[in-house]
Structure 1
Amino acid sequence: MERVLVLLLLLITTVSGCGVTSYQPNNSRVVNGVEARPYSWPWQVSLESFFPTCGGTLIAPNWVLTAAHCITFHTYRVVLAEHDMNKEEGPEQSIMVAKMFIHPKWNDNCVSCGNDIALLKLEKSAVINDKVQPACLPQHGATLAHNQPCYVTGWGRLYSGGPRATTLQQALLPVVDHNTCSQGDWWGSSAKTTMVCAGGESEAACHGDSGGPLNCKGRDGKWYVQGVTSFVDGRGCNTPQKPTVFTRVATFIPWISETMARN
Protein backbone atom coordinates (compact mmCIF):
# COMPACT_ATOMS: atom_id res chain seq x y z
CA MET A 1 0.00 0.00 0.00
CA GLU A 2 2.82 2.39 0.92
CA ARG A 3 4.47 1.86 -2.47
CA VAL A 4 1.18 2.63 -4.26
CA LEU A 5 0.86 5.88 -2.31
CA VAL A 6 4.41 6.89 -3.20
CA LEU A 7 3.71 6.17 -6.87
CA LEU A 8 0.49 8.20 -6.75
CA LEU A 9 2.31 11.11 -5.13
CA LEU A 10 4.98 10.95 -7.81
CA LEU A 11 2.35 10.99 -10.53
CA ILE A 12 0.57 13.98 -8.99
CA THR A 13 3.86 15.86 -8.62
CA THR A 14 4.75 15.25 -12.27
CA VAL A 15 1.34 16.31 -13.53
CA SER A 16 1.17 19.46 -11.41
CA GLY A 17 4.69 20.51 -12.36
CA CYS A 18 5.93 22.48 -15.34
CA GLY A 19 8.83 22.52 -17.76
CA VAL A 20 9.42 18.77 -17.57
CA THR A 21 9.46 16.61 -20.67
CA SER A 22 9.11 12.82 -20.90
CA TYR A 23 10.83 12.82 -24.32
CA GLN A 24 14.21 14.51 -23.96
CA PRO A 25 14.83 17.17 -26.64
CA ASN A 26 17.67 16.71 -29.07
CA ASN A 27 20.00 19.33 -27.57
CA SER A 28 22.45 19.24 -30.44
CA ARG A 29 24.31 22.45 -31.21
CA VAL A 30 22.77 22.62 -34.66
CA VAL A 31 22.30 26.30 -35.38
CA ASN A 32 20.15 26.40 -38.48
CA GLY A 33 17.37 24.14 -37.30
CA VAL A 34 16.54 20.45 -37.22
CA GLU A 35 13.35 18.45 -36.85
CA ALA A 36 12.50 18.23 -33.16
CA ARG A 37 12.15 14.88 -31.47
CA PRO A 38 8.38 14.22 -31.39
CA TYR A 39 6.73 15.43 -28.16
CA SER A 40 10.01 16.72 -26.70
CA TRP A 41 8.52 20.23 -26.41
CA PRO A 42 5.18 19.22 -24.87
CA TRP A 43 4.03 22.82 -24.22
CA GLN A 44 4.33 23.85 -27.89
CA VAL A 45 0.94 24.51 -29.46
CA SER A 46 -0.16 25.20 -33.01
CA LEU A 47 -2.52 28.19 -33.11
CA GLU A 48 -5.03 27.78 -35.92
CA SER A 49 -7.92 29.75 -37.37
CA PHE A 50 -8.89 28.54 -40.83
CA PHE A 51 -5.33 27.23 -41.12
CA PRO A 52 -2.21 27.13 -38.88
CA THR A 53 -1.14 30.73 -38.28
CA CYS A 54 1.21 30.87 -35.30
CA GLY A 55 2.72 29.03 -32.39
CA GLY A 56 2.02 29.33 -28.70
CA THR A 57 2.98 27.93 -25.31
CA LEU A 58 0.80 26.06 -22.84
CA ILE A 59 1.48 27.69 -19.44
CA ALA A 60 -1.45 26.12 -17.51
CA PRO A 61 -3.93 23.38 -18.49
CA ASN A 62 -6.36 26.01 -19.84
CA TRP A 63 -4.06 28.93 -20.73
CA VAL A 64 -1.83 29.56 -23.75
CA LEU A 65 0.72 32.34 -24.21
CA THR A 66 1.25 33.75 -27.71
CA ALA A 67 2.08 37.00 -29.55
CA ALA A 68 -0.44 39.83 -29.83
CA HIS A 69 0.33 40.23 -33.55
CA CYS A 70 -0.92 36.67 -34.10
CA ILE A 71 -4.48 37.58 -33.09
CA THR A 72 -6.15 38.78 -36.29
CA PHE A 73 -9.23 36.52 -36.51
CA HIS A 74 -12.25 36.07 -34.24
CA THR A 75 -12.12 32.32 -33.83
CA TYR A 76 -9.14 30.17 -32.90
CA ARG A 77 -8.34 26.71 -31.73
CA VAL A 78 -5.09 25.34 -30.37
CA VAL A 79 -3.68 21.93 -31.19
CA LEU A 80 -1.48 20.26 -28.57
CA ALA A 81 0.75 17.19 -29.03
CA GLU A 82 1.11 18.14 -32.69
CA HIS A 83 4.23 17.05 -34.57
CA ASP A 84 3.55 16.33 -38.24
CA MET A 85 0.98 18.79 -39.59
CA ASN A 86 0.14 16.46 -42.48
CA LYS A 87 -0.74 13.46 -40.35
CA GLU A 88 -3.29 12.60 -37.68
CA GLU A 89 -0.88 10.83 -35.33
CA GLY A 90 -3.24 10.05 -32.46
CA PRO A 91 -2.25 12.04 -29.35
CA GLU A 92 -3.29 15.47 -30.67
CA GLN A 93 -5.70 17.54 -28.59
CA SER A 94 -7.68 20.23 -30.38
CA ILE A 95 -9.32 22.79 -28.08
CA MET A 96 -11.24 25.94 -28.99
CA VAL A 97 -10.16 29.29 -27.57
CA ALA A 98 -12.86 30.77 -25.32
CA LYS A 99 -11.34 34.21 -24.58
CA MET A 100 -8.43 36.26 -25.93
CA PHE A 101 -6.54 38.87 -23.92
CA ILE A 102 -4.18 41.16 -25.83
CA HIS A 103 -1.80 43.30 -23.79
CA PRO A 104 -3.46 46.73 -23.35
CA LYS A 105 -0.35 48.59 -24.55
CA TRP A 106 0.03 46.58 -27.76
CA ASN A 107 0.01 48.71 -30.92
CA ASP A 108 -0.45 46.64 -34.07
CA ASN A 109 1.04 49.43 -36.18
CA CYS A 110 4.31 49.27 -34.22
CA VAL A 111 5.67 45.79 -33.50
CA SER A 112 9.02 47.23 -32.38
CA CYS A 113 7.23 49.30 -29.70
CA GLY A 114 6.92 46.08 -27.69
CA ASN A 115 4.10 44.53 -25.64
CA ASP A 116 3.67 41.85 -28.32
CA ILE A 117 2.02 39.37 -25.99
CA ALA A 118 -1.42 37.79 -25.61
CA LEU A 119 -3.11 35.20 -23.43
CA LEU A 120 -5.68 32.69 -24.64
CA LYS A 121 -8.11 31.02 -22.27
CA LEU A 122 -9.20 27.63 -23.56
CA GLU A 123 -12.78 26.34 -23.56
CA LYS A 124 -11.66 23.36 -21.51
CA SER A 125 -8.45 22.24 -19.84
CA ALA A 126 -5.98 20.19 -21.80
CA VAL A 127 -5.38 16.63 -20.63
CA ILE A 128 -1.90 16.72 -19.13
CA ASN A 129 0.06 13.59 -20.03
CA ASP A 130 3.49 12.53 -21.26
CA LYS A 131 3.00 14.47 -24.52
CA VAL A 132 1.23 17.58 -23.16
CA GLN A 133 2.80 19.57 -20.33
CA PRO A 134 2.88 23.27 -19.41
CA ALA A 135 6.13 25.22 -19.61
CA CYS A 136 7.35 27.09 -16.54
CA LEU A 137 7.06 30.87 -16.37
CA PRO A 138 10.17 32.78 -15.30
CA GLN A 139 10.29 34.92 -12.19
CA HIS A 140 9.34 38.56 -12.64
CA GLY A 141 12.42 40.48 -13.80
CA ALA A 142 14.58 37.40 -14.44
CA THR A 143 17.42 38.04 -16.89
CA LEU A 144 19.26 35.80 -19.34
CA ALA A 145 23.03 35.67 -19.70
CA HIS A 146 24.78 36.60 -22.96
CA ASN A 147 25.24 33.43 -25.06
CA GLN A 148 22.90 31.40 -22.84
CA PRO A 149 21.72 28.50 -25.01
CA CYS A 150 17.97 28.62 -25.69
CA TYR A 151 15.86 26.94 -28.35
CA VAL A 152 13.20 28.33 -30.63
CA THR A 153 10.54 25.88 -31.81
CA GLY A 154 7.83 26.08 -34.44
CA TRP A 155 6.45 25.18 -37.84
CA GLY A 156 7.56 28.42 -39.53
CA ARG A 157 9.31 28.81 -42.86
CA LEU A 158 12.51 26.79 -43.15
CA TYR A 159 14.23 29.89 -44.61
CA SER A 160 13.20 33.33 -45.88
CA GLY A 161 10.61 32.88 -48.63
CA GLY A 162 10.85 29.11 -48.27
CA PRO A 163 8.18 26.52 -47.47
CA ARG A 164 6.65 26.15 -44.04
CA ALA A 165 7.81 23.14 -42.08
CA THR A 166 5.38 20.24 -41.84
CA THR A 167 7.11 18.76 -38.77
CA LEU A 168 8.04 20.72 -35.63
CA GLN A 169 11.48 22.28 -35.95
CA GLN A 170 13.91 23.49 -33.32
CA ALA A 171 16.99 25.68 -33.53
CA LEU A 172 19.61 26.64 -30.98
CA LEU A 173 19.51 30.41 -30.45
CA PRO A 174 22.14 31.75 -28.04
CA VAL A 175 20.93 34.86 -26.19
CA VAL A 176 22.33 38.23 -27.31
CA ASP A 177 22.38 40.55 -24.30
CA HIS A 178 20.57 43.90 -24.38
CA ASN A 179 23.78 45.97 -24.45
CA THR A 180 24.87 44.23 -27.64
CA CYS A 181 21.45 44.00 -29.29
CA SER A 182 20.65 47.69 -28.76
CA GLN A 183 23.87 48.90 -30.43
CA GLY A 184 23.34 51.07 -33.50
CA ASP A 185 24.60 48.49 -36.00
CA TRP A 186 22.43 45.79 -34.40
CA TRP A 187 18.77 46.52 -33.57
CA GLY A 188 19.43 49.95 -32.04
CA SER A 189 16.45 51.57 -30.33
CA SER A 190 14.12 48.85 -31.65
CA ALA A 191 15.57 46.52 -28.98
CA LYS A 192 13.79 47.34 -25.73
CA THR A 193 14.48 46.01 -22.24
CA THR A 194 11.06 44.30 -22.50
CA MET A 195 12.49 42.14 -25.30
CA VAL A 196 15.01 39.32 -25.63
CA CYS A 197 17.31 39.00 -28.65
CA ALA A 198 18.60 35.56 -29.58
CA GLY A 199 20.46 34.00 -32.49
CA GLY A 200 21.60 35.88 -35.57
CA GLU A 201 23.03 35.01 -39.00
CA SER A 202 22.19 31.35 -39.70
CA GLU A 203 20.22 31.02 -36.47
CA ALA A 204 16.75 32.56 -36.52
CA ALA A 205 13.07 32.08 -36.19
CA CYS A 206 11.14 32.71 -39.39
CA HIS A 207 7.64 33.65 -40.55
CA GLY A 208 5.12 31.27 -39.03
CA ASP A 209 7.13 30.75 -35.82
CA SER A 210 5.48 33.87 -34.33
CA GLY A 211 3.95 33.46 -30.90
CA GLY A 212 5.94 30.32 -30.13
CA PRO A 213 8.34 29.92 -27.22
CA LEU A 214 11.99 30.70 -26.65
CA ASN A 215 12.75 27.67 -24.48
CA CYS A 216 15.55 28.11 -21.93
CA LYS A 217 16.58 25.53 -19.35
CA GLY A 218 16.75 26.76 -15.77
CA ARG A 219 19.31 25.78 -13.15
CA ASP A 220 16.62 23.53 -11.69
CA GLY A 221 16.63 21.48 -14.90
CA LYS A 222 13.16 22.67 -15.93
CA TRP A 223 12.31 24.47 -19.17
CA TYR A 224 11.10 28.06 -19.01
CA VAL A 225 9.34 30.08 -21.69
CA GLN A 226 11.60 33.14 -21.56
CA GLY A 227 10.43 34.63 -24.84
CA VAL A 228 7.48 34.87 -27.22
CA THR A 229 8.61 35.00 -30.86
CA SER A 230 7.89 38.55 -32.06
CA PHE A 231 9.82 39.78 -35.13
CA VAL A 232 12.78 39.34 -37.47
CA ASP A 233 14.47 41.71 -39.89
CA GLY A 234 12.40 42.66 -42.94
CA ARG A 235 15.29 41.76 -45.25
CA GLY A 236 15.20 38.14 -44.16
CA CYS A 237 15.15 35.80 -41.20
CA ASN A 238 18.92 35.25 -41.19
CA THR A 239 20.21 38.83 -41.51
CA PRO A 240 23.60 39.28 -39.75
CA GLN A 241 23.45 41.34 -36.55
CA LYS A 242 19.67 41.21 -36.62
CA PRO A 243 18.87 38.37 -34.20
CA THR A 244 15.31 37.20 -33.68
CA VAL A 245 13.46 39.44 -31.22
CA PHE A 246 11.21 37.92 -28.58
CA THR A 247 8.84 39.48 -26.06
CA ARG A 248 10.62 39.08 -22.71
CA VAL A 249 8.13 37.08 -20.66
CA ALA A 250 9.83 37.92 -17.34
CA THR A 251 8.78 41.58 -17.65
CA PHE A 252 5.10 40.67 -18.14
CA ILE A 253 4.62 38.28 -15.21
CA PRO A 254 2.38 40.73 -13.25
CA TRP A 255 0.07 41.16 -16.27
CA ILE A 256 0.01 37.41 -16.94
CA SER A 257 -0.74 36.57 -13.29
CA GLU A 258 -3.43 39.23 -12.97
CA THR A 259 -5.16 38.25 -16.23
CA MET A 260 -5.22 34.56 -15.31
CA ALA A 261 -6.45 35.27 -11.76
CA ARG A 262 -9.30 37.55 -12.90
CA ASN A 263 -10.55 35.30 -15.66
Structure 2
Amino acid sequence: MSGGGGDRRSVARKVFAIADAFHGREQLSLSEIAGRANLPLSTAHRLVGEWVEWGGLERGDDGDYRIGVRVWRLGVRQPTALRLRRVAMPYLEDLLESTHEHVHLAIRDGLGATYLERLSGPAAVAAISDVGSRLPLHATGVGLVLLSYAPSEVFDELLASEPRAYQPRTITDERGLRRRMAEIRSTGIATTVEELTPGAFSIAAPVRDATGEVLAAVSIVAHVERLAEPQISLGVRMAARGISSALGYRAHHD
Protein backbone atom coordinates (compact mmCIF):
# COMPACT_ATOMS: atom_id res chain seq x y z
CA MET A 1 0.00 0.00 0.00
CA SER A 2 1.37 3.40 -0.97
CA GLY A 3 2.03 5.93 1.75
CA GLY A 4 1.70 5.22 5.43
CA GLY A 5 0.74 6.52 8.83
CA GLY A 6 4.20 8.09 9.13
CA ASP A 7 3.63 10.43 6.19
CA ARG A 8 4.20 13.87 7.69
CA ARG A 9 3.73 15.82 4.47
CA SER A 10 1.27 18.70 4.57
CA VAL A 11 -1.95 18.47 2.58
CA ALA A 12 -0.49 20.97 0.11
CA ARG A 13 2.58 18.80 -0.48
CA LYS A 14 0.35 15.76 -1.05
CA VAL A 15 -1.64 17.75 -3.59
CA PHE A 16 1.59 18.78 -5.32
CA ALA A 17 2.69 15.14 -5.30
CA ILE A 18 -0.45 14.26 -7.24
CA ALA A 19 0.40 16.92 -9.82
CA ASP A 20 3.98 15.61 -10.04
CA ALA A 21 2.64 12.10 -10.62
CA PHE A 22 1.59 13.14 -14.13
CA HIS A 23 5.13 14.12 -15.16
CA GLY A 24 5.74 12.31 -18.44
CA ARG A 25 2.30 10.69 -18.41
CA GLU A 26 -0.87 11.86 -20.12
CA GLN A 27 -3.25 9.76 -18.03
CA LEU A 28 -3.16 7.65 -14.87
CA SER A 29 -5.49 5.36 -12.98
CA LEU A 30 -6.27 6.13 -9.34
CA SER A 31 -3.97 3.36 -8.15
CA GLU A 32 -1.16 4.66 -10.37
CA ILE A 33 -1.61 8.16 -8.95
CA ALA A 34 -1.49 6.77 -5.42
CA GLY A 35 1.66 4.80 -6.18
CA ARG A 36 3.51 7.61 -7.94
CA ALA A 37 2.52 10.15 -5.27
CA ASN A 38 3.30 7.69 -2.44
CA LEU A 39 -0.16 8.07 -0.95
CA PRO A 40 -2.64 5.60 0.56
CA LEU A 41 -5.36 4.79 -1.95
CA SER A 42 -8.03 6.32 0.29
CA THR A 43 -6.10 9.61 0.57
CA ALA A 44 -5.45 9.70 -3.15
CA HIS A 45 -9.15 9.06 -3.81
CA ARG A 46 -10.17 11.99 -1.60
CA LEU A 47 -7.61 14.45 -2.95
CA VAL A 48 -8.13 13.44 -6.56
CA GLY A 49 -11.85 13.96 -6.06
CA GLU A 50 -11.16 17.51 -4.90
CA TRP A 51 -8.89 18.06 -7.92
CA VAL A 52 -11.69 16.90 -10.23
CA GLU A 53 -14.26 19.11 -8.50
CA TRP A 54 -11.97 22.14 -8.91
CA GLY A 55 -11.19 21.30 -12.55
CA GLY A 56 -7.52 20.45 -12.15
CA LEU A 57 -8.10 16.85 -13.20
CA GLU A 58 -10.63 15.24 -15.50
CA ARG A 59 -11.86 11.64 -15.33
CA GLY A 60 -12.32 9.92 -18.67
CA ASP A 61 -14.88 7.32 -19.64
CA ASP A 62 -12.19 4.68 -19.11
CA GLY A 63 -11.87 5.71 -15.45
CA ASP A 64 -8.37 7.17 -15.86
CA TYR A 65 -7.52 10.73 -14.92
CA ARG A 66 -5.98 13.47 -17.06
CA ILE A 67 -4.82 17.01 -16.36
CA GLY A 68 -7.85 19.31 -16.54
CA VAL A 69 -8.34 22.40 -18.67
CA ARG A 70 -8.16 24.68 -15.63
CA VAL A 71 -4.55 23.70 -14.96
CA TRP A 72 -3.59 24.17 -18.61
CA ARG A 73 -5.18 27.60 -18.67
CA LEU A 74 -3.22 28.57 -15.58
CA GLY A 75 -0.08 27.33 -17.31
CA VAL A 76 -0.54 29.47 -20.39
CA ARG A 77 -0.74 32.55 -18.18
CA GLN A 78 2.82 32.16 -16.92
CA PRO A 79 5.22 34.97 -17.98
CA THR A 80 7.06 33.17 -20.81
CA ALA A 81 3.81 32.05 -22.41
CA LEU A 82 2.29 35.49 -21.96
CA ARG A 83 5.22 37.15 -23.73
CA LEU A 84 5.14 34.59 -26.53
CA ARG A 85 1.41 35.13 -27.08
CA ARG A 86 1.82 38.91 -27.01
CA VAL A 87 4.67 38.87 -29.53
CA ALA A 88 2.90 36.36 -31.79
CA MET A 89 -0.55 37.94 -31.83
CA PRO A 90 -0.06 40.42 -34.74
CA TYR A 91 1.30 37.62 -36.95
CA LEU A 92 -1.51 35.25 -35.95
CA GLU A 93 -4.08 37.93 -36.72
CA ASP A 94 -2.53 38.51 -40.17
CA LEU A 95 -2.62 34.78 -40.82
CA LEU A 96 -6.28 34.63 -39.81
CA GLU A 97 -7.12 37.57 -42.05
CA SER A 98 -5.49 35.92 -45.06
CA THR A 99 -6.99 32.43 -44.59
CA HIS A 100 -10.13 32.70 -42.41
CA GLU A 101 -9.33 29.27 -40.96
CA HIS A 102 -8.00 28.15 -37.56
CA VAL A 103 -4.68 29.72 -36.54
CA HIS A 104 -2.77 28.05 -33.69
CA LEU A 105 0.21 28.77 -31.47
CA ALA A 106 1.40 25.83 -29.36
CA ILE A 107 4.25 24.69 -27.15
CA ARG A 108 5.40 21.20 -26.17
CA ASP A 109 4.49 19.80 -22.76
CA GLY A 110 5.67 16.23 -22.33
CA LEU A 111 4.16 14.16 -25.12
CA GLY A 112 1.50 16.74 -25.94
CA ALA A 113 1.19 20.08 -27.68
CA THR A 114 -0.50 22.67 -25.46
CA TYR A 115 -2.32 25.40 -27.35
CA LEU A 116 -1.50 28.92 -26.17
CA GLU A 117 -3.73 30.62 -28.71
CA ARG A 118 -6.40 29.83 -31.30
CA LEU A 119 -7.96 32.33 -33.67
CA SER A 120 -10.79 31.12 -35.93
CA GLY A 121 -12.71 32.35 -38.93
CA PRO A 122 -16.52 32.06 -38.94
CA ALA A 123 -16.52 29.29 -41.57
CA ALA A 124 -13.42 27.45 -40.32
CA VAL A 125 -13.34 23.66 -40.45
CA ALA A 126 -14.51 21.78 -37.34
CA ALA A 127 -11.57 21.29 -34.96
CA ILE A 128 -11.12 20.03 -31.40
CA SER A 129 -8.33 22.40 -30.40
CA ASP A 130 -8.88 25.25 -27.97
CA VAL A 131 -6.77 27.54 -25.81
CA GLY A 132 -5.35 25.38 -23.03
CA SER A 133 -6.13 22.08 -24.74
CA ARG A 134 -3.41 19.47 -25.08
CA LEU A 135 -3.28 17.28 -28.18
CA PRO A 136 -0.89 14.48 -29.19
CA LEU A 137 2.46 15.33 -30.73
CA HIS A 138 2.37 12.64 -33.41
CA ALA A 139 -1.08 13.47 -34.83
CA THR A 140 -1.03 17.27 -35.11
CA GLY A 141 0.94 19.66 -37.28
CA VAL A 142 2.22 21.74 -34.37
CA GLY A 143 2.94 18.57 -32.43
CA LEU A 144 5.04 17.04 -35.19
CA VAL A 145 7.08 20.24 -35.49
CA LEU A 146 7.69 20.28 -31.74
CA LEU A 147 8.53 16.56 -31.74
CA SER A 148 10.97 16.96 -34.63
CA TYR A 149 13.04 19.52 -32.73
CA ALA A 150 12.68 17.95 -29.26
CA PRO A 151 15.45 16.00 -27.49
CA SER A 152 15.77 12.39 -28.68
CA GLU A 153 14.48 11.01 -25.40
CA VAL A 154 11.09 12.62 -26.07
CA PHE A 155 10.76 10.51 -29.21
CA ASP A 156 11.76 7.41 -27.24
CA GLU A 157 9.07 8.18 -24.67
CA LEU A 158 6.51 8.67 -27.42
CA LEU A 159 7.25 5.27 -28.94
CA ALA A 160 7.12 3.63 -25.51
CA SER A 161 3.67 5.15 -24.95
CA GLU A 162 2.33 3.25 -27.99
CA PRO A 163 0.93 6.26 -29.88
CA ARG A 164 -2.68 5.96 -30.95
CA ALA A 165 -3.89 5.97 -34.57
CA TYR A 166 -6.72 8.51 -34.38
CA GLN A 167 -7.52 8.19 -38.08
CA PRO A 168 -6.43 5.78 -40.84
CA ARG A 169 -3.79 8.30 -41.99
CA THR A 170 -2.20 8.75 -38.53
CA ILE A 171 1.42 7.61 -38.58
CA THR A 172 2.44 5.74 -35.43
CA ASP A 173 5.32 3.42 -36.40
CA GLU A 174 8.93 4.32 -35.61
CA ARG A 175 10.19 4.17 -39.19
CA GLY A 176 7.39 6.34 -40.52
CA LEU A 177 7.74 8.91 -37.75
CA ARG A 178 11.53 9.11 -38.11
CA ARG A 179 11.19 9.68 -41.85
CA ARG A 180 8.61 12.35 -41.25
CA MET A 181 10.66 14.15 -38.60
CA ALA A 182 13.70 14.21 -40.90
CA GLU A 183 11.57 15.76 -43.64
CA ILE A 184 10.23 18.42 -41.25
CA ARG A 185 13.74 19.34 -40.12
CA SER A 186 14.83 19.53 -43.76
CA THR A 187 11.93 21.62 -45.07
CA GLY A 188 11.04 23.55 -41.90
CA ILE A 189 7.37 22.72 -42.25
CA ALA A 190 4.94 19.93 -41.28
CA THR A 191 1.81 18.91 -43.15
CA THR A 192 -0.86 16.55 -41.81
CA VAL A 193 -3.94 15.49 -43.75
CA GLU A 194 -6.94 14.03 -41.89
CA GLU A 195 -4.72 12.53 -39.19
CA LEU A 196 -6.65 13.81 -36.20
CA THR A 197 -9.83 15.34 -37.66
CA PRO A 198 -11.63 14.09 -40.80
CA GLY A 199 -11.95 16.75 -43.48
CA ALA A 200 -9.09 18.87 -42.14
CA PHE A 201 -5.41 19.39 -42.88
CA SER A 202 -2.73 21.25 -40.97
CA ILE A 203 0.41 23.09 -41.99
CA ALA A 204 2.81 24.08 -39.19
CA ALA A 205 6.22 25.70 -38.83
CA PRO A 206 8.69 26.19 -35.94
CA VAL A 207 9.06 29.35 -33.87
CA ARG A 208 12.59 29.94 -32.56
CA ASP A 209 13.91 32.12 -29.76
CA ALA A 210 17.04 34.29 -29.85
CA THR A 211 19.28 31.25 -29.31
CA GLY A 212 17.76 29.37 -32.25
CA GLU A 213 15.95 26.87 -30.05
CA VAL A 214 12.47 25.86 -31.21
CA LEU A 215 10.14 26.85 -28.38
CA ALA A 216 6.77 26.86 -30.16
CA ALA A 217 4.96 26.11 -33.41
CA VAL A 218 2.43 28.05 -35.43
CA SER A 219 -0.11 26.41 -37.71
CA ILE A 220 -3.17 26.67 -39.89
CA VAL A 221 -5.89 24.00 -39.71
CA ALA A 222 -8.13 24.26 -42.75
CA HIS A 223 -10.63 22.44 -44.94
CA VAL A 224 -8.86 19.65 -46.81
CA GLU A 225 -10.16 21.04 -50.12
CA ARG A 226 -7.76 23.98 -49.66
CA LEU A 227 -4.64 21.83 -49.34
CA ALA A 228 -3.20 22.91 -52.69
CA GLU A 229 -3.57 26.65 -52.04
CA PRO A 230 0.03 27.98 -51.88
CA GLN A 231 -0.78 31.03 -49.75
CA ILE A 232 -1.55 28.85 -46.73
CA SER A 233 1.89 27.24 -46.60
CA LEU A 234 3.57 30.55 -47.40
CA GLY A 235 1.54 32.36 -44.75
CA VAL A 236 2.48 29.86 -42.05
CA ARG A 237 6.17 30.13 -42.95
CA MET A 238 6.06 33.92 -42.89
CA ALA A 239 4.20 34.02 -39.58
CA ALA A 240 6.67 31.62 -37.94
CA ARG A 241 9.65 33.62 -39.22
CA GLY A 242 8.08 36.90 -38.16
CA ILE A 243 7.43 35.67 -34.62
CA SER A 244 10.93 34.20 -34.42
CA SER A 245 12.46 37.47 -35.58
CA ALA A 246 10.42 39.40 -33.00
CA LEU A 247 11.82 37.05 -30.34
CA GLY A 248 15.37 37.88 -31.42
CA TYR A 249 16.14 35.04 -33.81
CA ARG A 250 18.45 36.00 -36.69
CA ALA A 251 19.17 33.68 -39.61
CA HIS A 252 19.23 33.79 -43.39
CA HIS A 253 17.18 30.58 -43.52
CA ASP A 254 15.83 27.88 -41.16
Pick 1 or 2: higher relative contact order, CA cutoff 8 A, min separation 6: 1
Whichever of the two has the greater Rg, that structure is 2
TM-score in terms of structure 1 length = 0.28
TM-score in terms of structure 2 length = 0.29
Write 1 or 2 for the structure with the bigger share of helix.
2
Write 1 or 2 for the structure with the bigger share of strand.
1
